Structure formats: structure tokens, C-alpha cells
Amino acid sequence: MCQELINSSCRGAQVFAVVHRWAAFMPFTCKEIFDRLITRCQLILLEQLELWLSLHTHPISDEFFIQATDGRHSATYEVVEDMMPLFMDTALAETILSIGLKVKEIGGLIDQKSRSSDFSDFVSFHERNICRLRELMQTPLTDFELQELFEHWHSCIDRRLWGSLSTKADLEVAFDKIEDYFFQRQGYLFDQLIRQFVEDPLARHCRPSVGCALPDKLFNLAADCVHHAAHRCVVQLKFCWIASEDQSWLSCLELELRPEQIRSSGHLYSPNFVSRCNEIFRFLLRVRYSHYLLNNLWLSLAKGGAICKATFNYASTLNFVVSTLRDYQTNVIREHCNGLRTALDGASSMEAFSDLVDTFLENMESALFIHSPDAWLLIDKLLFMCECSETFDFNEPKLISCAWDALRELMTSLFQLGETASDEVVYLRELLVMLNCSDFFTALTNSIRSTDD
């Protein structure tokens, strides 16, 4: 046995497994000695398990089979198979990993004194399982006993964790924050942000870079203007890590959640979830920006006195289309967010919650054409027309005629795409119904055609 330990690459708890196996061949008197040695090894493993299964974060032994992925202070962990006890399979190790992550999430909530009493049932349940683990580890155990304990622990803790998070940690309130900021339900705040962006001379000449603090400064100024300071403890605005100087502001802005928001609702605020929400955020912000530019266009045309019919038709049609697009977005966000809240009431586990969030995001992305190349290209051209209107010379009849032709061609393509839409862009039909439900667009089309003739 000693030779095997010396010559092998056993580490940590694997040493215990070797001793456990050799003890079966020892004479009775020797076996008693080895049983004590095994128990001692188990107690070392118990200490490591207790630290991992604690409600609070503690430094982890270098010999434990669960390690931080990026150093001792990392927030993510993984199972190191080379350090696992031989009597433990990967599935059991992953179960222990999952339990530790979930109890620490609850531990973070319990740290908030106002909520500590809400989790008394969960804490009692957790402590009973720790006591049972200690009992098992006092004598040489079998892998079956340990597996049975942790499987029961995991199946129960998932239900208890979900109940605690959904009823006590206010997941709905947490999702409200996502809707307020990433989906821009705080409309006045983002309208003011666009205004700050357009009017601030620094913003007009600043090129995107990851280290630039200007986006968050403008966000704070916008919040001060609308008396909304709540965002400071929820999100901050910045350029994303892929920002480059040849990009426009709106294509590389993103919201980042404050660390305390990530800790309190880690499952809701997963990196993938936030990244996908930021794609939607940038699209909504660009439509809002286009709408703002068109409103400015109307004001400038009104101040200029008499407006020719072609200019009026072009500007009013463009404004109607973009306003309808904004109304459509508002309906989509409200419908899908309300649907997610309703579905949450029937969710019974964290796994079910994750599936609901995935389905919600897929539906949102489909409804907003995020992953529909043909529809996205046409809408992108529409928004580019709005951005060009800021420097457009409306005193040039030929330019107005060309702009109108481009808009008419774009809208014709959009309606044709809707008529032959595949399942990927089925939501496009809903937008086109909103555009087509009024005679306004048709009347303008006929009007401008007669003017051209």
C-alpha cells in the first residue's frame, strides 16, 4: 500500500481511496488501525466539504476536488477530476458543486439582515444535512451512503432554493430592472440620454473606446435631468469590449449590471442573458435616436416657413413608419415581459426558470428581428435614412425625390418580404398590419406618385 502511494500520482482525497481499498485485505487488528486512519482521512474531506457547503464563501483547500476556475478569488468553480476520491463519480462531484453554488447564493441573500428571517426554514434544512454528513463521516462509509445523502440534498435544495428566490428575493422585481433599463421602459430617461448624446459637444467628437467614461457620465446627466438616480445601484453605461474607433456610438453601447445585482440574482443575470439583452438594448436605442432626429426635423421644417409637398410627404411618411415601429416594439416588450411573469408563477425549479428565460429571449429576438437578416437589413436602411435626415438639404428638389424613391423602394421590399415571410420573420406581418391598417401610408404613396408624374 505504501509503495502504491509513493509511486502513484494520488492527490488529496484520492489517498483516502487507496487506504480504504487496502484496508479490506488487512488482518482484523490491522484493519481496526486502518479504519481509524480512514476515518481521519474522511474527517479531512469533511472539513473541505463543510467549507464548500457553507452559506458563506471561504478559501478552498488546494487539495479539494472543487477549485476556482481563475484563481482563489474567482466567482466561478469547476470539478477537477484528477483530485476526486476514487469512490466518487463525476455525477456526484457535479452534484456537490451545484449544491455549494446554490447555498452560497442563498447565503448572499441572508447577509441582508432585513431578509435573514425569511430563510429560517431553509437554514434549518441545510444544517440538518450538514449534521447527517458529519455522522456518516465519523465511521468508514460506503459510496452508496454518500451518494444517497447528496442526491436527496440536491433534489430538496432545488425546490427550496426556488421557493426562496421567487417569493423572498423578488425575482419579479429583479426582472423589472431588466425591463426598465435594457428594454428601456424608463422612457424619459432614455429620451434624455439621446438628447444628451446629440447636444453634448464632447459626445459628437468622442470616438468609442473601452476605457472611455463618457457614456456613463452622459447617463448620469440624463438621470439627473429626469430626477431618476435609481440606475446608479443597478446598471452603468459603457462601451463594450469590442468597441473600435470606426464604430458609431449606438452600435457599441451596452449596459453593465452592478456587481451586487449579479450576486443577488445570478441565474437571472447570467453573462449570456445580459449579452443578448444588450443586443436588444442597442436596437431599441437606435430606433429611439431615429425618432428623436425626425422630431427635430419636423421642428426645423416648421421654422423654415412654407414646405413643398414632396418634402412634407417624405418627412411625414418617414415619421409615420418609425413611430409605428416604436409602437410595435412597445407592444412586443409589454406582451413578452408579461408572458414571462405569468409563466414564472408556474415554475417549480431553477431548471424550469432557465428554460423560461431562454424561451423568452428567443421570442423577443424573433419579434424584434434581431436574427432575421432580410428584415434586419431593411430596418437598418430605414434607420440610416433617419440618421441622414439630420444633415439632409431639403431645399434641393432632386435630393428629396431621390430620398423618397429610396424610401418607397424600401417599404415595397418590406411589404413583399412580409407576404412571403418564413417562420423566421413571421412577426414581420404584425408590424406590417400596423403600417397597413391606416390609409395614411397608402394616401401618401399615391400622392407622391402623382407628384412625380
User: Whole-prediction pTM value?
Assistant: 0.65
Residues of the chain with pLDDT under 50: 6, 114, 168, 450-451, 453
Specify whether 185 is located in the same domain as 321. yes
What size, in residues, is the chain?
453
What was the pLDDT predicted at 453? 47
Q: Give CA–CA dist 292/386, Å, rounded.
A: 9
Specify whether 64 is located in the same domain as 206. no
What would the grid cell of residue 152 be?
436527496
CATH classification of the domain holding 433:
1.20.120.1900
- Whole-Å CA distances, 149 to 38, 116, 160: 20, 26, 16
Specify whether 124 is located in the same domain as 225. no
What would the grid cell of residue 383 be?
434607420
What was the pLDDT predicted at 286? 93
Specify whether 113 is located in the same domain as 175. no
The 10s digit of each residue's pLDDT in 20-54 is 666 666 665 555 655 665 566 677 788 888 899 98
Q: Which of 117, 151, 167 is the last residue of a domain?
A: 167
Find the largest Cα–Cα distance for the chain: 110
Q: Which of 114, 133, 167 is the last residue of a domain?
A: 167
Specify whether 156 is located in the same domain as 177. no
Specify whether 121 is located in the same domain as 232. no
Specify whether 110 is located in the same domain as 139. yes
Q: Give CA–CA dist 293/315, Å, rounded.
A: 11
Q: Which of 167, 191, 206 is the last residue of a domain?
A: 167
Specify whether 241 is located in the same domain as 161. no
What was the pLDDT predicted at 188? 94
Q: Give CA–CA dist 158/99, Å, rounded.
A: 8
- Mark 38-64 as b/e (b = at least 16 C-beta within 10 Å): bbebbebbbebbebbbebeeeebbeeb
Domain residue limits at 274: 171-452
- Count of domains in the chain? 2
**Whether 49 contacts 96, CB under 8 Å:** yes
Specify whether 18 is located in the same domain as 157. yes
- DSSP secondary-structure letter at 91? H
Q: Give CA–CA dist 321/20, Å, rounded.
A: 75
Specify whether 182 is located in the same domain as 135. no
Specify whether 180 is located in the same domain as 252. yes
The 10s digit of each residue's pLDDT in 107-127 is 776 765 545 555 677 788 889
Specify whether 229 is located in the same domain as 147. no
The 10s digit of each residue's pLDDT in 404-428 is 888 888 888 888 888 776 666 678 8
